[in-house]
Amino acid sequence: MSIFINKDTRVLVQGITGREGGFHTQQMMAYGPNTIVAGVTPGKGGQEAFGLPVYDTVKDALKAHPSINASIIFVPPAFAADSILEALDAEMPLIVCITEGVPLHDMIKVNQVLQRSPKSKLIGPNCPGLTTPDQCKMGIMPGHIFKPGTVGVVSRSGTLTYEIAADLTNRGYGQSSIVGIGGDPIIGTRFIDVLKAFEADPATELVVMAGEIGGEDEEIAAEYIKTMTKPVVGFIGGRTAPKGKRMGHAGAIVSGNKGTAEAKVAALEAAGVPVANTTAEIGDLVVERLKKLAAVK
Amino acid sequence: MKIHEFQAKQVLAKYGVPTPRGQVAYSPDEVKNIATEFGKLVVVKAQVHVGGRGKAGGVKLAKTPNEAYDMGKQILGMDLKGLIVKKVLVEEGVNIDKEYYLGMIFDRDARKVVVMVSAEGGMDIEEVAEKTPEKLAKIWVDPALGLTDYQIRQLIFDAKLDRAYIKEYTKFLKLLYKAFIQSDATLAEINPLVVTKEGTVIAADCKMDIDENALFRQPELAAWQESEEDNAIEDEARTRGLTYVHLDGDIGIMGNGAGLVMTTLDAVGREGGAAANFLDIGGGAKASVVKNALEVVMMEKPKGVLINIFGGITRCDEVAKGVLEATSGMEIKVPIVVRLSGTAEEEGRKLLAGSNLIPAATMQEAAKKVVDLAYGR
């Protein structure tokens, strides 16, 4: 099992003929050949890219391929919000936006439309996407570091996700699904949404949640974790980052006393979540908890 | 991106938001000339990106042109919280009847723009918000509807502003909201918002932040991006297209991906070191980018350097090539620890074998090695 995507996911690539879109379409096809079915580039409808048909609009693509149930967006920042809105208008069940640098006011509008679109889920923007090992990869994650298993991973950072998943794989522990939710101030799917999905997923035994400074999503998630039946292992990046400075991610900025690493660690610990000090410690904590679970069984 | 008060007021003026008449001056003589032209009391205000200018002596009143000259002389060149004042805004004084606070800011948790008003204008709003939150009225704006009249009325009544000016406040707030949205602002603070004795509502001060991600559609604002007040190395990094933050420690750090680099800073901190910088080479960086990045890190004159790469799209062999190209062209006397994992890690490690670079297998090992070597432990 898995969350959000599996071997039956059928993916549309918005921006398939662009440099990033093209490169990653091939990477995703190499990972799950049957999951990528078509692309969209306005004005290039009727052409082919990597053996896949290209359409002018999302609706055209859906008409020709009714099996499409997910879309991934690789368009430049100026057009990203419009592409998300187009996918929302087509009632696409899952929309993943990889684009980094989408203007805030665009995302404020997108968020309003998203709230009124019960049929759709958005992951990102500014995210690495998600992977269900050996089934489907939607995004830019390096597929070779994952292996199927029972640990769910959710993170705001891409490379940190790779670090965590690769360490688990090296130790012999596979993952159920890996979700990078993105580092921007406004994102579609938040920690709490992914935690709920992992809680409901029979294949997931334990969840690793890697947060970072900025915002209060980790604190909100901590409240939900108190009600979860599955163990969660936490990590917070940016503990030594100075206040007021923007650390790469648009969202990773601490203003005032909100969103500090200390506040997040405290909230997680209050919810019974052990918070690792280093990425290696995440693996230690996961192994320890999984052994406990096995002993109970 | 922060912009200066005089620039923020230009933005406001463009959208019809009332502001006092003002001009920028770079010398005491210019200050005097502007004051003479205005022919009345003027305010001379330091234009630097720091808060609390007034308290720090960066804002002065002048009754005559000669006084204005003296004030200009005092303020220009002064050190205001670490920044040297190079320009001042000379503005005609307004007849203040009442002073209020007005803030428009992106509220991350609500995912909307929040508008805040308080009758306690002219002072530290943080203090008002903390000690007497009931005096700070707030409304959240639906982006589809914009700021509505009934919401503005609610704000005025909640904050107990003078009801006689509801029409003027409404007009002011609507224009300000338009300016905020159309210039991709993330913050606009009017403190004080002044009701003059003549019965007009005017922005006596304005602080504004612009979303850097939106500068592609704000060419006029993008041109205001300043380098003079930034760190020189940050500036160099920006011209090289790198995501770079100068920090106060002495261990240079570069890696790929913001989260991984932040975590690398933490790992170095855990080993008792302090990072000199934050440098994210981004995804899929080629050798030339890596070379560029390492050159910038060396400008910080670090005691040691840690390169932490987890290759996904980024190829470790490309990173290794870039590091070798950079180091072959300069004399390096400090230890450089390199951790390469992920895509093409074997090829990368092979390339580095035989060089003076110090390999490490994990982030933790790399952090420990670089701290030990840099501090001679």
Q: List, for residues A175-214, the tens digit of each pLDDT value.
A: 999 999 999 999 999 999 999 999 999 999 999 999 999 8
Lowest mean pLDDT across A25-34, B128-137, B152-161, B339-348: B128-137
The yes-or-no verdict on residue A22 having pLDDT over 80 is yes
Q: For residue B120, is pLDDT > 70?
A: yes
List CB contacts (< 8 A) between B109 and chain A. 215-216
| Chain B hits for A117, Cβ within 8 Å | none
Chain B, residues 121-150, CB within 8 A of chain A, namely: 126, 142-144
Query: Please, which pLDDT band fits residue A252 given cuts at 50, 70 and 90?
Result: low
Are the Cβ atoms of B263 and A163 closer than 8 angstroms? Answer: yes
Which residue from B108, B107, B109, B105 is spatially nearest to B117, judged by alpha carbons? Answer: B105
CB contact under 8 Å between A104 and B106, yes or no, is yes
pLDDT tens, A51-91? 999 999 999 999 999 999 999 999 999 999 999 999 999 99
- Residue scoring higher pLDDT (A296 or A186): A186
Give the pairing type, strands B83-84 and B79-80: antiparallel
The pTM (predicted TM-score) of the whole model is: 0.92
The DSSP-derived string for A74-131 is ---HHHHHHHHHHHHHTT-SEEEE--S---HHHHHHHHHHHHT-TT-EEE-SS--EEE
List the single residue in A108, A142, A144 with the smallest CB-CB distance to B112: A108
Instruction: Tell whether the model's pLDDT for residue B290 goes beyond 60.
Output: yes
**Helix/strand/coil percentages in chain B, nearest 5:** 40, 25, 35
Smallest CA-to-CA distance from A126 within A90, A166, A84 is with: A84
Q: Which of A7-11, A225-229, A235-239, B118-122 has the lowest mean pLDDT?
A: B118-122
Q: Using the beta-carbon criterion (under 8 Å), do A159 and B256 form an inter-chain contact?
A: yes
Min CA distance, A271 vs chain B (Å)?
Answer: 21
Give dist(CA B37, CA B65) in Å, integer: 9
Position B234 scores a pLDDT of 87
Distance CA B67, CA B73 (A): 10
A112 interaction partners in chain B (CB closer than 8 Å)? 142-144
By C-alpha distance, the chain A residue nearest B182 is A105
Residue whose C-alpha is closest to residue B120's, from B130, B131, B135 = B135
Residue B198 neighbours by CB under 8 Å, 6+ apart: B95
Nearest neighbour of B312 by CB, restricted to A141, A212, A242: A141
Spell out which residues of chain A touch residue B281, defining contact as CB-CB under 8 Å: none
**Coil, helix or strand for A133?**
coil
- pLDDT computed for residue B261 by the predictor: 94
Radius of gyration of chain A from its Cα atoms, rounded to whole angstroms:
19
Separation between Cα atoms, residue B268 and residue A278, nearest integer Å: 11
Question: Span A116-139, mean pLDDT?
Answer: 97
pLDDT of residue B206: 95
pLDDT of residue B293: 94
CB A203 within 8 A of CB A214: no
Q: What is the pLDDT of residue A242?
A: 79
Give the pLDDT confidence score for residue A76 in this predicted structure: 96
Is pLDDT above 80 for B224?
yes
Cα distance from N-terminal residue to C-terminal residue, chain B: 41
Smallest Cα distance from B342 to chain A, Å: 8
Chain A residues near residue B106 by CB distance under 8 angstroms: 104, 108, 185
Output the pLDDT for position A256.
60
Q: Of A20-29, B213-222, B321-330, B361-370, which range is least confident?
A: B321-330
- Write the DSSP symbol of residue B357: P
Q: In the predicted model, what is the mean pLDDT of chain A?
A: 94
Q: Give percent above pLDDT 90 in chain A.
A: 86
Please write the tens of the pLDDT for every residue from B158-195.
999 999 999 999 999 999 999 999 999 999 999 999 99
State the average pLDDT for chain B. 92
CA angle B37, B42, B48 (to 5 degrees): 110
Contacts of residues A110-114 at CB distance under 8 Å and 24 or more positions apart, as own/partner, are: A110/A81, A110/A84, A110/A85, A110/A186, A111/A186, A111/A188, A111/B111, A112/B142, A112/B143, A112/B144, A113/A85, A113/A88, A114/A88, A114/A188
Cα angle, residue B220 at apex, residues B216 and B223 outer, rounded to 5°: 85
Split at pLDDT 50, 70, 90, the class of A249 is: low
Structure token pair of residue A35: 């999951």
* Closest of B193, B190, B185 to residue B224, by C-alpha: B185
Would you give the DSSP letter of residue B350?
H
pLDDT of residue B230: 60
Cα of A120 to nearest chain B Cα, Å: 18
Cβ count within 10 A of residue B99: 16
pLDDT at A162: 93
- The interface predicted TM-score (ipTM) is 0.90
Whether the CB of B34 is below 8 Å from some CB of chain A: the reply is no
CA-nearest of B240, B147, B82, B311 to A141 is: B311
Residue with the bigger pLDDT between B330 and B292: it is: B292
Distances (CA, A) of A187 to A84, A154, A176, B13, B191: 12, 14, 22, 33, 31
Q: For residue B59, what pLDDT is reported? A: 95
Residue B193, amino acid: L
Please count the other Cβ atoms lying within 10 Å of the Cβ belonging to residue A47. Answer: 14
pLDDT at A1 over 80: no
pLDDT at B225 (0 to 100): 83
Q: How far is CA B84 from CA A100, B34, B76, B233, in A?
A: 35, 22, 8, 18
Chains A, B: CB contacts within 8 A come to 152
Annotation marks residue A105 as catalytic: no
Nearest-by-CA chain A residue for B142: A112
Smallest CA-to-CA distance from B302 within B338, B253, B347 is with: B253
Task: Please give the average per-residue pLDDT across B87-100, as a whole number.
Answer: 95
- Asked if A159 lies within 8 A of B341 by C-beta distance, the reply is no
* Angle between helix A158-170 and helix A279-296 axes, rounded to 10 deg: 50
- Residue B256 — very low, low, confident or very high, per pLDDT cuts 50/70/90? very high
Which positions of B are catalytic? Answer: 101, 189
Of B126, B259, B275, the CB nearest to A237: B259
